[in-house]
Structure 1
């Protein structure tokens, strides 16, 4: 299955691309919004390009993301907290003097892994409703990272 056809199967991506509104040749003079608010003349002419249902992540995929984030972020974060408790117990009750920089670096390493685990948990989730994905999700990560980079590039090209 090619990346392009796989990309079209995502349920939470819009079915069509947004069309840019045509630029008018002569712009009418418009009062500032604050002046219109005072006069009560503000009308709601902004139509959102997509509905909430089209933009929402399906519950199945959201639940997968939460489980993966809890695993890949929760375990290192719990280990970071545990290093603080264990180092205190070693100093207080066993009389073992630990260098504070070692405790700090170990603690920062675990909390850093916890932060990276949030990103990895979301990006390593299968974004296809019918396919649960693999245990560690490396294939899903590469696919989703490619989709994200492609989205950044198209957004950047559209702004120029």
Structure 2
């Protein structure tokens, strides 16, 4: 402790209050220079032209990747069906197991509701992918009801586009 005699202890209370008079307010303004380095008029015009060209390219790429509305509606209806049926089946089976257990009709093993939930909810999750792939991506062709042929074609297309 004697070696730290140089260090002063600061008081734990406020000794003086700061003066709040207007003399402490700094009202110094800075000048803005119109032609700062890198911001002359020619560069701005070049940048505007470049931005317009980039926007035009982005719109062209967007137009190529846009899914037609007819195909999108078919996709949504297939996804809703392929997700909804397994989901409702799983919830119905859980309700049925609950009623059977409450009525003491059958002593259901614990693993059975877990297994049915796993299978039906998993099938519901896979329904999103299958609903998308089983839709015909051609506007004029509706495709089949089940969609196995379309799923095979679209699976190959999807991986070809991903590799390129």
Cα displacement (A) at 1:117: 1.1
Cα displacement (A) at 1:73: 1.6
- For 1:1-160, what aligned pairs fall within 5 Å after superposition? 45=51, 46-47=54-55, 49-51=57-59, 52-154=62-164
Gaps of 5+ in 1: 1-40, 155-160
User: Whole-Å Cα distance in 1 between the matches of residues 56 and 85 of structure 2?
Assistant: 40
Cα displacement (A) at 1:55: 3.0
Query: Who wins on radius of gyration, i.e. which is larger?
Result: 2
Gaps of 5+ in 2: 1-43
User: Whole-Å Cα distance in 2 between the matches of residues 74 and 143 of structure 1?
Assistant: 24
TM-score, length basis structure 1? 0.64
With CA pairs under 8 Å and 6+ residues apart, which has the higher RCO, 1 or 2?
Answer: 1
Alignment size in residue pairs: 114
What CA RMSD, in Å, does the superposition of the two structures yield over aligned residues? 2.1
